[in-house]
Amino acid sequence: MESAIDTHLKCPRTLSRRVPDDYQPPFPMWVARADASLQQVVMAYLGVQYDDPERRGDALAALRTIVGTFDGPDGPVHHDLTHHVDNRDHHNLMVVAYWADPAAYGRWLRSEAVAGWWESDDRLHDGLGHFREVVAPRVDQFETLYAFQEQLPGVGAVMGGISGDINEHGYWGSMRERFPISQTDWMQSNGGLTVVEGDPAAGGRVVVRGHDNIALIRSGQEWIEAGEEERSLYLDEIQPTLEAGMDFLRDNGESVGCYSNRYVHSIDLDGNPIDESYNIGHWSSLDKLERWAESHPTHLRIFTTFFRVAEGLDKLRLYHEVSVSSGSEQLFEYVNCHPGTGMLRDARVASNA
C-alpha cells in the first residue's frame, strides 16, 4: 500500500486528510507515476464543430489537419480522438493531445502549421466551428485513478508508469487527497469566466479568460476488450446511469458549477467509433465537482455499482484524471462556435462602460 502522492511530491502538510492513517481501501486501485523530472503537462482539447451532417467530411479533414501538426519534435506525446453531438444538435470532433513539456507545446502552438492555420481567415469562412481549450497543470495540480495497471490512457500515457495499490481512494474526498497540492492548498476558485475578445452571440473569434483552479475531469470507460458479462455490466448497468448523469451536467451544469460537460465517444481518424468513451467536464472549482459527485443520484448509482463490481473487473477499463490549473496556464479560444460551446455558455462579456 502506497500513497497516491509520489514520494518526491510529498511535503509537510498544513491541511489534513479526511480519513485516519489506518484507513484501508475496500479494493485495489492505481495511479499513474512519472519520473521526477516531469514538472508540468499540457492537456489540449482541440475541436471542430459542425451543424450540417454533410460537413462531416470537411470536419474530419480538419481533424486530420490538426493531427498532422503533431508530427515532429514539438508534437504531443500522446493523443486520442472523439466525437459527440451536443445539446444544440451540433456535432463535435475533438482531439485531446498531451505534452510532457510546456516549452515544446509552446513551440508547436507558435509553429506556422498551427498558428498560421488557426489565425487564417479561412477559419472564419470554412463553414466549420473551431475551438481549443488548453490547460497546463503542474504535477502537483493533477491526480489520476485507474482500475487497471496497463496501457494507461490520457495523461497516464504521458506519465509512463504505474503505482502499487494506493491508499487514497474509496471515500468522498479521496480525489482531492490524491492531488499533491492538497497537502497545503484548498484549490479555490478566484473568479468566473470572462469574454475578453469577441462576442459569443455573434460568432466569429471569441477568447475567454479562465481563472485559477478551474477543475477539469476526464472520466473514461473502455469496454473494447470486455467479455460478454462485463460488456453487459457496462452497457446495461453503468452506461444508462452514466448517460443520465452526464446529460444532467450538460444541460444543468450552470446550477452546480459545471461550465461544460461533454460525454464523448472515441473514434479513429476516419471517424469510425471505437468501444471507448469518456466524459470531459470543466468545473468552476474542485469542490463544486466534489459536491455534485457525492450527492447526485446518478453519480451515486455509478459509484455504488462500481463499488459492487470493482474487484471482479477484468477487461472493462474505468479510470479518471482530474486537474486544476492556474488562470495563467489556460487557453480558451473559439471560432464560429455556437454560444453554448465549452466555456462560452457561462462566460460574462466584460463591460467597457
Catalytic residues: 320
DSSP designation for 253? G
Nearer to its own copies, 70 or 303 (CB): 303
Selected from 157, 287, 327, 339, the binder of its own copies by CB under 8 A is 287
Q: Does 27 bind its own copies (CB under 8 A)?
A: no
Angstrom distance (rounded) from CA 8 to CA 22: 22
Site stretch for its own copies (CB under 8 A), options 35-43, 61-69, 122-130, 169-177: 169-177
Selected from 116, 240, 273, 297, the binder of its own copies by CB under 8 A is 297
Q: Does 345 bind its own copies (CB under 8 A)?
A: no
Return the closest-CA partner of residue 103 out of 158, 39, 9, 36. 39
Selected from 28, 67, 171, 310, the binder of its own copies by CB under 8 A is 171
Angstrom distance (rounded) from CA 25 to CA 252: 33
Site stretch for its own copies (CB under 8 A), options 18-26, 59-67, 121-129, 258-266: 18-26
Angstrom distance (rounded) from CA 311 to CA 230: 12
Contact set for its own copies, span 302-331 (CB under 8 A): 303-304, 307
H helices of the chain, where? 56-68, 102-110, 117-119, 122-125, 155-159, 174-178, 228-232, 239-252, 286-295, 297-309
Site stretch for its own copies (CB under 8 A), options 59-67, 225-233, 297-305, 334-342: 297-305
Q: Does 58 bind its own copies (CB under 8 A)?
A: no
Nearer to its own copies, 24 or 352 (CB): 24
CB 285 within 8 A of CB 217: no
Three-state secondary structure call for residue 192: coil
**272, burial (CB in 10 Å: exposed 0-12, middle 13-18, buried 19+):** exposed
Q: Does 79 bind its own copies (CB under 8 A)?
A: no
Nearer to its own copies, 51 or 287 (CB): 287
Beta strands in the chain (DSSP E): 32-33, 42-50, 78-85, 91-99, 129-135, 142-146, 161-162, 194-199, 203-209, 214-222, 258-267, 273-283, 317-325, 330-335, 348-349
- Give phi and psi for 196, each to the nearest 5: -110, -5
Nearer to its own copies, 134 or 302 (CB): 302
CB of 28 to its own copies, least distance (A): 16
Q: Does 188 bind its own copies (CB under 8 A)?
A: yes
CB of 217 to its own copies, least distance (A): 18
Nearer to its own copies, 275 or 290 (CB): 290
Nearer to its own copies, 117 or 303 (CB): 303
Three-state secondary structure call for residue 177: helix
Selected from 300, 310, 313, 331, the binder of its own copies by CB under 8 A is 300
Angstrom distance (rounded) from CA 219 to CA 146: 10
Site stretch for its own copies (CB under 8 A), options 8-16, 66-74, 216-224, 259-267: 8-16
Interface positions with its own copies (CB under 8 A): 14-16, 18-23, 26, 170-173, 176, 186, 188, 287, 290-291, 294-297, 300-301, 303-304, 307
